[in-house]
Amino acid sequence: MPETTHERLTSGGWKELEFGPFRDAVTIHWIRPFEGDQPGVALLKYEPGASVPRHRHEGLETILVLDGVQSDETGDYASGSYIVNAPGSEHSVWSETGCIVLIQWDRPVKILEEEIA
């Protein structure tokens, strides 16, 4: 029996879930929070124009774009795109239109550039 099950995520099932604060204009629904050395799994919801500043991946990160378009310095990733970011890689992330992504991090990322208000 699976520990956690969310049905129909690829067809909008995420719309029924509660999201909480993560970063400015980005909210999170934890499927499995980080615990000890175990990876974290979550859904991130980017509002239109939202971004995450430049950061480094301390472990492997995998992303499945469920809705909308997520972008970074290497391109735009539409719904259905699967992205793998290797440990040690760096980038910033944004979404002009807004998006929902399923993400798994081996370890939390290290923010390198904070936005200055």
Per-residue model confidence as pLDDT tens for the chain (117 residues):
577 777 888 888 899 999 999 999 999 999 999 998 899 999 999 999 999 999 999 999 999 999 999 999 999 999 999 999 999 999 999 999 999 999 999 998 999 976 554
pLDDT number for residue 58: 93
pLDDT number for residue 11: 86
For residues 116 and 56, give the distance between their C-alpha atoms in angstroms, rounded to a whole number.
19
Query: How far, in Å, are 7, 42, 54, 108 from residue 39 at the CA level?
Result: 21, 10, 21, 8
pLDDT number for residue 115: 52
Query: How far, in Å, are 22, 24, 74, 108 from residue 115 at the CA level?
Result: 15, 10, 21, 19
